[in-house]
Chains A and B, each alone.
Chain A
Amino acid sequence: MSLFLAVVLQLCLAALLASGALCLYRMLLGPRSADRAVAFDSLAAVFIAIICVLCIRWNSTLYFDAVWILMLVGFLGSAAIALYLEKGRIF
């Protein structure tokens, strides 16, 4: 791995962490559960991106499967929250 790529990846990691902090801040701020659900959705995206970047950084595909698993779990979570908000129950 070239030094150039390593620096870029560190930069990306920092930006992703900043974005995750912003999402967390919105999650704390609310003001209503819908805002928190949206923030949760983007936090899942941030996690996925962090995993990808770390995979490249560590030069290992060990955690690459976590990407699409997290995607599915994030989707199910969002769908469940949406159903709960709309109907007051999930099933």
Chain B
Amino acid sequence: MPIVIDALVAVLCLAGTALILLTGIGLIRFPDVYCRMHAAGKAGTLGVVFVVVGATVHFAGTDQDVWVRGLLAVFFQFLTAPAATHLLARAVYVCDYPPTAVTAVDELREYLAPPSGAELLAITEREESKMLTRILVGLDNTASTDIAVRQAIEVAQRHRAQLTGIAVVDTRALERIGPIPIGGSHYAKRLREYRLGAAKIESDGAIARFESACNAAGLGYEAKQLTGDPFDTFAAQARYHDLTVLGMQFLFYHGVIAEPRNPLGRLMKRGMRPIIAVAPASRGIHQVLIAYNGSVEATMAMKQFVQLCPWPDVSADLVWCGEADYDARELLTEASAYCRSHGLAVEVGDAPASGRDALLDYATRRDTDLLVIGNSTRDFFGSFLGDLPGKAKETDRLSLFLNQ
């Protein structure tokens, strides 16, 4: 029956060829790559299969193993064509090839689509908040530390940061009690034990209060009690934190022995930065005063504050705090432009405040909550830190943001 076979072959070849011709026409006429892929994938596959089956039927009478080769080809075609089309379609979609405007359904969008503008913004916001992920809090049993902890919790919640609270007991300093008179060693021992015990009780209480405050806020935290020199310990811990928060009247020896002078300056000298020293009567940070004198250190302090951005919605004043300089205005204008470009609402202070008292006056007048200050002029900075905790009435609301 050669005529029947010939007819079958002819029909199969014609059908396959027609489908392949449709593929070519579809490739030219369809509006976008997805439609063209539809034409190429479906019509192309079936067309090739028809033609191959036609050839197989034609040789089936004369050649035995052509069946195998024909079926193999059909099998491969059905195996590879969908996979290739699928891979290509996915790649094209990922490459942000827009479908034609008349496309009605786009189910892949929520899984694979390149992020839109709003999503990109959300991602950058998340990235920005990565500036502040770990906050170190010094713990003692004073009221100012309670306020510092409260403000640290507020900042940590805003930035989704983790808090680390540490209380340091300096056993060596506590045990150092000076010369012991003859026969006094028993009392010396009792004094040592008393001091150590008192410091321990104080620091345990501080940690317990920190933990309960964090638990109440539902915040991730870690609380540690460490022994050693408090300044060294704080500096070592601060190395792996973005920000250190201390109470302004922080007690490094828990009030058991005499406190060191100018503790914040000593911390800064050990390379600890930035520090926020929270004022004992602080009511939250709303108004910020940035003291600027054009020096590298003052610039670093300003930049650190602007970049960390612990309180995004504060308004800030930028004032000149050094000697009167002929280009002070210009420097302040440029610095304020920098702050504004980072999204900080900043005003250039009207009167340049030269000297500490003028700056404090200005801060009081403007109802300032936080003073951003760099170790610009060493004397200025030192006198500032040395005296500030003493000036209770004037500055008990003024917290400090310190950077060297």
Q: Least Cβ distance of A71 to chain B in Å? A: 5
State whether A8 touches B73 (Cβ < 8 A): no
State whether B88 touches A78 (Cβ < 8 A): yes
- Interface residues in chain B, defined as those with a beta carbon under 8 Å from any beta carbon in chain A: 2-3, 6-7, 9-10, 13-14, 16-18, 20-21, 23-25, 27-28, 33, 36-37, 39-41, 44-45, 47-48, 51-52, 54-55, 58-59, 63, 66, 69-70, 72-73, 76-77, 80-81, 83-85, 87-88, 90-92, 94-95, 97
Q: Chain B binding site: helix, strand, loop or mixed by DSSP?
A: helix
Contacts of B47 in A (CB 8 A): 45, 49
Residue pairs across A and B with CB atoms within 8 Å: the count is: 178
State whether B23 touches A42 (Cβ < 8 A): yes
Q: Least Cβ distance of A50 to chain B in Å? A: 9
8 Å CB interface, A15-61 against B: 15-16, 18-23, 25-26, 32, 34-35, 37-39, 41-42, 45-46, 48-49, 52-53, 55-56, 61
What are 25 sample pairs from A and B whose C-beta atoms fall under 8 A apart? A5-B10, A8-B10, A9-B13, A11-B17, A15-B17, A19-B23, A21-B24, A23-B24, A39-B27, A39-B36, A42-B39, A45-B23, A45-B40, A48-B73, A49-B20, A52-B51, A55-B55, A56-B58, A61-B63, A64-B55, A64-B69, A64-B70, A67-B55, A71-B73, A86-B91
- Interface residues in chain A, defined as those with a beta carbon under 8 Å from any beta carbon in chain B: 1-2, 4-5, 8-9, 11-12, 15-16, 18-23, 25-26, 32, 34-35, 37-39, 41-42, 45-46, 48-49, 52-53, 55-56, 61, 64-65, 67-68, 71-72, 74-75, 78-79, 81-86
State whether A65 touches B69 (Cβ < 8 A): yes
CA distance A82 to B21 in the complex (A): 24
Contacts of B28 in A (CB 8 A): 22, 25-26
Given contacts A61-B59, A86-B91, contact A18 B21 (CB under 8 A): yes
CA distance A43 to B18 in the complex (A): 15
Contacts of B41 in A (CB 8 A): 41
Which chain B residue lies CB-closest to A85?
B91
CA distance A64 to B74 in the complex (A): 12
Which chain B residue lies CB-closest to A45?
B44
Given contacts A26-B36, A34-B91, A82-B88, contact A67 B21 (CB under 8 A): no
Please list the 10 inter-chain residue pairs (A to B) with the smallest Cβ-Cβ separation, ordered nearest first. Answer: A22-B24, A19-B24, A75-B80, A78-B84, A82-B87, A86-B91, A85-B91, A82-B91, A68-B73, A12-B17
State whether A5 touches B27 (Cβ < 8 A): no
Contacts of B88 in A (CB 8 A): 34, 37-38, 41, 78, 81-82, 85
Contacts of A35 in B (CB 8 A): 33, 36
Q: Least Cβ distance of B76 to chain A in Å? A: 5
CA distance A65 to B45 in the complex (A): 18
CA distance A56 to B40 in the complex (A): 24
Given contacts A85-B95, A86-B95, contact A8 B14 (CB under 8 A): yes
Given contacts A34-B97, A52-B54, contact A71 B76 (CB under 8 A): yes
State whether B36 touches A79 (Cβ < 8 A): no
Given contacts A16-B20, A45-B44, contact A1 B69 (CB under 8 A): no
Contacts of A21 in B (CB 8 A): 24
Contacts of A71 in B (CB 8 A): 48, 73, 76-77, 80
Which chain A residue lies CB-closest to B27?
A26
CA distance A85 to B21 in the complex (A): 27
State whether A68 touches B94 (Cβ < 8 A): no
CA distance A67 to B49 in the complex (A): 11
Contacts of B7 in A (CB 8 A): 4
State whether B76 touches A72 (Cβ < 8 A): yes
Q: Least Cβ distance of B347 to chain A in Å? A: 48
State whether A49 touches B16 (Cβ < 8 A): yes
